[in-house]
């Protein structure tokens, strides 16, 4: 399949993937799209919750009308109510004009309340009234204005937990979660990467980037990584690897160095090259990493330099899937020098 075919097949913002989880997701999207019910979309960051919301709108009878995304986490202070429900002229000091607010802007269409778990309690009460009465009362007014809006909401928080902690209203939760859709972490549907990665390369090509492909080992590496940032992180890694590759083929070495750097951004100070365990490449060859350094006083467990070097090299090889060129690059030495050290330290080459 050419990249043009890939793009044609996935034209627009489409949910891409053929894993069981993604097929089930697509079915749910098609099923709920035709109704007017409120939908709560839950799942980790970057798993495609907004994309799901856009698809529901695109497949719904409201498709010709506006889709209005609202990031509840970025709204602050007094202006929040006005951003959502609008205000009348003179409602507050800077209100020299009236404003529609997101709900009325989305009239006849769909509003997408992203990060709904971040909405402060007073606004949760107001939102509940809008849902119940299908009308908004702009700030500074007493008049309810009817709105016909489909409400979709998303969160990566556990709203039930938030409810128990008293941070989220129970009545609002049940109103919002009439239908629930859950997005799956990318690491649990790694077969989707076989389709997502070429899709992202085709998108880059459409933007004028030279045509590129991932070699088999690079693809295997992508499928074995645990993707804490999910599809968003995959998209970024593909773009970086494409930029850093000169020819048509993107190799596992380039992917490994991009992954090592993206992992490296999240590590603790003082140990900049060792990835945090929860973000590491999933590997069946786990090392014994139980060495604890204690510099309080020299004793019989004081590790010798060769032992530290051996461990550091072994960890690096683990994270490069035993790829010696990539490991040498991470260690800042030549491949030849690494091979010599492996032989000297007794690490199988
Ligand atoms: N199945 C998919 N097919 C194609 N692109 C996808 C898919 N899932 C996610 N993406 C892309 O990944 C990026 C992140 O997706 P999106 O913003 O929908 O995630 P999210 O779960 O809403 O993230 P957040 O919780 O951080 O807001 C977007 O560029 C989106 O287009």
ipTM of the complex: 0.98
- Tens of pLDDT, residues 104-146: 999 999 999 999 999 999 899 999 999 999 999 998 899 999 9
Say yes or no: 145 and 218 in one domain: no
Q: How far is the CA of 132 from the centre of ligand 1 (A)?
A: 30
Q: What is the DSSP annotation of 209-262?
A: PPP-EE-HHHHHHHHHS--TTHHHHHHHHHHHHHHH--SSEEPHHHHHHHHHHH
pLDDT of residue 323: 80
Range among 206-215, 263-272, 338-347 with highest mean pLDDT value = 206-215
- Nearest protein CA to atom 9 of ligand 1, as residue: 48
Per-residue tokens: 286? 């786990």
- Nearest protein CA to atom 26 of ligand 1, as residue: 45
Burial class (CB in 10 A: 0-12, 13-18, 19+), 301: exposed
Say yes or no: 197 and 220 in one domain: yes
Helix (H, G, I), strand (E, B) or coil at 69: strand
Q: In the predicted model, what is the mean pLDDT of residues 244-264? A: 85
pLDDT of residue 266: 38
Q: How far is the CA of 93 from the centre of ligand 1 (A)?
A: 39
pLDDT of residue 179: 96
Per-residue tokens: 235? 């998209």
Q: How far is the CA of 329 from the centre of ligand 1 (A)?
A: 32
Residue 298's pLDDT band, with cuts at 50, 70 and 90, is: low
Give me the CATH number covering residue 315: 1.10.10.60
Give me the CATH number covering residue 213: 1.10.8.60
Structural domain containing residue 4: 1-13+187-282
Say yes or no: 96 and 132 in one domain: yes
Q: How far is the CA of 345 from the centre of ligand 1 (A)?
A: 45
Q: How far is the CA of 37 from the centre of ligand 1 (A)?
A: 22
- The CA–CA distances, whole Å, from 39 to 58, 117, 267 equal 14, 14, 36
pLDDT of residue 291: 45
Ligand 1 atom closest to residue 16's alpha carbon, by position in its atom list: 3
* Residue 299 pLDDT exceeds 70: no
pLDDT of residue 98: 77
Residues with CB under 6 A from ligand 1: 13, 15-17, 43, 45-51, 114, 156, 196, 231-232, 235
- The CA–CA distances, whole Å, from 131 to 36, 111, 315 equal 12, 12, 54
Q: How far is the CA of 1 from the centre of ligand 1 (A)?
A: 24
Say yes or no: 205 and 323 in one domain: no
Domain boundary pick from 254, 282, 310 = 282
Say yes or no: 137 and 73 in one domain: yes
Residue 159's pLDDT band, with cuts at 50, 70 and 90, is: very high
- The CA–CA distances, whole Å, from 223 to 24, 231, 234, 316, 323 equal 20, 12, 10, 19, 16
| Nearest C-alpha neighbor of 289 from the set 252, 321, 316 | 316
Residue 188's pLDDT band, with cuts at 50, 70 and 90, is: very high
Residue 264's pLDDT band, with cuts at 50, 70 and 90, is: very low
Measured CA to CA, the distance from residue 240 to residue 262 in angstroms comes to 10
Pick from 51, 155, 234 the residue to mutate for probing ligand 1's pocket: most ligand atoms within 8 Å of its CB: 51
Say yes or no: 28 and 176 in one domain: yes
Say yes or no: 158 and 227 in one domain: no
pLDDT of residue 255: 93
Domain boundary pick from 159, 183, 207 = 183
Q: How far is the CA of 46 from the centre of ligand 1 (A)?
A: 5
Say yes or no: 209 and 157 in one domain: no
Pick from 20, 46, 202, 234 the residue to mutate for probing ligand 1's pocket: most ligand atoms within 8 Å of its CB: 46
Ligand 1 atom closest to residue 234's alpha carbon, by position in its atom list: 12
Domain boundary pick from 183, 201, 235 = 183
Question: What domain count does the chain have?
Answer: 3
pLDDT of residue 55: 96
Give me the CATH number covering residue 155: 3.40.50.300
User: Residue 239's Cα: distance from chain center in Å?
Assistant: 15
Say yes or no: 45 and 179 in one domain: yes
Ligand 1 atom closest to residue 114's alpha carbon, by position in its atom list: 27
Say yes or no: 242 and 321 in one domain: no
pLDDT of residue 194: 97
* Residue 238 pLDDT exceeds 50: yes
- Nearest protein CA to atom 8 of ligand 1, as residue: 48
Residue 295's pLDDT band, with cuts at 50, 70 and 90, is: low
Say yes or no: 176 and 195 in one domain: no
Per-residue tokens: 236? 């970024």
- Tens of pLDDT, residues 38-95: 999 999 999 999 999 999 999 999 999 999 999 998 877 667 888 999 988 877 777 7
Say yes or no: 27 and 161 in one domain: yes
Pick from 182, 189, 232, 237 the residue to mutate for probing ligand 1's pocket: most ligand atoms within 8 Å of its CB: 232
Q: Cα dihedral sign for 190, 3, 251, 332?
A: negative
Q: How far is the CA of 15 from the centre of ligand 1 (A)?
A: 9
Q: How far is the CA of 251 from the centre of ligand 1 (A)?
A: 25
Number of H helices, E strands in the chain: 15, 9
């Amino acid at each position: 399949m050419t990249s043009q075919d890939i793009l044609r097949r996935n034209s627009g913002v489409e949910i891409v993937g053929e894993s069981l989880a993604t097929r089930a997701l697509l079915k749910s999207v098609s099923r709920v799209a035709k109704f007017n019910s409120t939908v709560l979309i839950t799942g980790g960051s970057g798993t495609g919750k907004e994309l799901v919301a856009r698809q529901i709108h695109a497949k719904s009878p409201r498709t010709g009308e506006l889709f209005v995304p609202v990031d509840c986490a970025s709204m602050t202070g007094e202006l929040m109510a006005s951003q959502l429900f609008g205000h009348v002229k003179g409602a507050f000091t800077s209100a020299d004009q009236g404003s529609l607010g997101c709900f009325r802007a989305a009239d006849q269409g769909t509003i997408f309340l992203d990060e709904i778990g971040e909405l402060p309690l007073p606004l949760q009460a107001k939102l509940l009234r809008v849902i119940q009465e299908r009308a908004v009362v702009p700030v500074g007014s007493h008049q309810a204005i009817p709105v016909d809006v489909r409400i979709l909401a998303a969160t990566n928080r556990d709203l039930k937990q938030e409810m128990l902690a008293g941070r989220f209203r129970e009545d609002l939760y049940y109103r919002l979660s009439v239908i629930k859709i859950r997005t799956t972490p990318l690491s649990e549907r790694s077969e989707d990467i076989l389709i997502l990665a070429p899709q992202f390369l085709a998108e880059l090509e459409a933007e004028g980037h030279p045509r590129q492909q991932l070699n088999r080992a690079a693809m295997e590496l992508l499928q074995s990584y645990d993707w804490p940032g999910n599809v968003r992180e995959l998209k970024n890694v593909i773009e970086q690897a494409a930029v850093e590759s000169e020819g048509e083929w993107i190799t596992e070495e380039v992917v490994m160095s991009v992954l090592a750097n993206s992992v490296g951004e999240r590590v603790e100070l003082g140990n900049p090259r060792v990835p945090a365990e929860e973000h590491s490449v999933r590997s069946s060859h786990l090392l014994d990493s139980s060495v604890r350094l204690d510099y309080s006083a020299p004793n019989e467990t004081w590790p010798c330099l060769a032992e530290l070097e051996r461990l550091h090299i072994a960890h690096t090889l683990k994270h490069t899937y035993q790829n010696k060129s990539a490991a040498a690059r991470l260690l800042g030495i030549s491949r030849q020098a690494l091979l010599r050290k492996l032989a000297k330290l007794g690490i199988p080459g």
